[in-house]
Amino acid sequence: MAYIFPAVMIGGPPNAGKSVLTYSLTHALRELNIDHYVIRAHPDGDGDWFQQIEPDQVRAIHVRGRWTDEFVQAICTALAHRHLPLLVDVGGLPTEEQKRMFLYCTHSLLLLRADKPEIADMWRQIAAQNGLLPLANLYSSLDGNLIINAESPVIEGVMTGLRRQTMASGPLFDLLVARLASLFAFDKRELQEIHFRLAPVELVIDLDMFVQRWSPQARRWQPDMLPRLLAELPSDTPLALYGRAPNWVYGALVCHTGQDAFYQYDARLGWVLPPPLQLDLSDMPELHNNIRIQSLQKELDASLERQEEITLVNMSLTSKYLDYMQTASLHFPSVSATRGLILSGAVPHWLLTALVRTYANTGVPWIACYQPQLQGATIVVSHTPMHIIGDVIALPASWAAFS
């Protein structure tokens, strides 16, 4: 399915507001029920959560990565094998090696700065040299008046106020949303039917359908929806999971299937299984308490802390991208079967589900997945009446230092 769908490069100099604009655009497209995916083709750790939580929380958990050849190749592979229309948020000063990512894009949306004319010229050249069809050439200004210079064929003007923790708005932003909505206007039902036909098992769960049916106005999953979801689905049955949902929804469903096949749809990879993982058994978790263990690997940094009745495992990708085929070389810390477990970290859903399934087999009493927007961790599997699936538990006081 490579190159069937458009991929819009959102480029421009550093600190122009590209991440804020990208988040605002994807949020608006979701509101219009437009299927698409955002690839953040730069390893600085920004994601939707960066806009959705308070600035002090961002400083606590935001970890910047670094450019590597592996990261660039992984992005190129994801772009080449896309399964949905893409918004591609790219770094502000790409090297020649990094510029090869743009060969896989189809359109450009440039957000430039008037005080950086040389960098603005560089971005125009990048778009032209890669044959990208221009959707918009804009300038960004924190203050001043919004200006629309042209609405077609290329949108031109000045966007203002693209600050962290804000949403873009106004007539110029509305023009961008309308243009993207038109470009991404694939029939949703047809897209889903294509993806569903490719599912490796018979039972396909459309997560978006549940939210729309239960709470049309909510548009987001809430932890108290988990028990109802699990009650409506057969347990210990192979299933394929499709749709946008928080990590804790995926974590709960992978355990609901027991040891049966659990496929999940990844916009970069298509249908994938949680890969098998290895636990590092060299440590004896039952002998330690209130300690921190740091495990540094090339692809992943895993930290472990034990406090009272909870084990905290936090992960971060050192390159901000992890190849699905690399997991066989990764090792994760073993945990005590007498403590509950909290999993945290900006990792792909397929890795999160693999971790939940792996740790669930160790006999831990419960597992919860941390989500910054909730300021807590949602219970996804439990063998004790003290912790019910769907409950959100507060983190230990030392969490800020840990994360």
What pLDDT is recorded for position 43? 56
Distances (CA, A) of 160 to 169, 172, 176, 177, 299: 9, 10, 14, 16, 38
Residue found under tokens 């477990």: 341
pLDDT digits (tens, 9 = 90+) for 337-347: 999 999 998 88
Give the pLDDT confidence score for residue 391 in this predicted structure.
Answer: 95
- Alpha-carbon Rg for the chain, nearest whole angstrom, is 22
Binned at pLDDT 50, 70 and 90, residue 398 comes out as low
pLDDT of residue 143: 86
Higher confidence at residue 249 or residue 322?
249
Residue ranges and CATH numbers for the domains of the chain are: 7-183 (3.40.50.300), 191-402 (no CATH)
Q: Which of 9-23, 56-70, 286-300 has the lowest mean pLDDT?
A: 56-70
Comparing 104 with 69, the larger pLDDT belongs to 104
Indicate the pLDDT class of residue 76, thresholds 50, 70 and 90. confident
Residue 295 pLDDT grade (very low, low, confident, very high; cuts 50, 70, 90): low
Residue with tokens 């927007």: 373
Mean predicted confidence (pLDDT) in 223-243: 93
Percent of the chain with pLDDT over 70: 85
**What is the pLDDT averaged over residues 15-33?**
90
DSSP string of 131-193?
Answer: TPEEEEEEEEESSS--EEEE-SSSEEEEEE---TT----SHHHHHHHHHHHHHT---HHHHHH
Q: Residue 51: what pLDDT?
A: 40
Top mean pLDDT of 103-112, 201-210, 308-317 is at 103-112
Name the DSSP letter for residue 339.
S
174-226 pLDDT per residue, tens:
999 999 999 998 887 888 888 898 899 999 999 988 887 887 776 789 999 99
| pLDDT above 70: residue 127 | yes
- Name every residue whose Cβ is closer than 8 Å to that of residue 3 and which is 6 or more positions away in sequence: 80, 82, 106
- How high is the pLDDT of residue 52? 41
pLDDT the model gives residue 403: 46
* pLDDT band at 253; cut points 50, 70, 90: very high
pLDDT of residue 401: 46
The four Cα atoms 102, 107, 113, 115 give a dihedral, to 10 degrees, of 60
| Residue 266: per-residue pLDDT | 87
Question: Phi, psi at residue 128, to the nearest 5°?
Answer: -70, -45
> Phi/psi zone of residue 161: left (φ > 0), alpha (ψ -120 to 50 degrees), beta?
left
pTM: 0.65
Strands 86-90 and 37-41: parallel
**Is residue 58 predicted with pLDDT exceeding 70?**
no
The pLDDT score that the predictor gives to residue 54 is: 38
Confidence of residue 57 (pLDDT cuts 50, 70, 90): very low
**Higher confidence at residue 182 or residue 328?**
182
Share of the chain above pLDDT 90, in %: 47
* pLDDT, average across residues 252-268: 91
Average pLDDT, the chain: 83
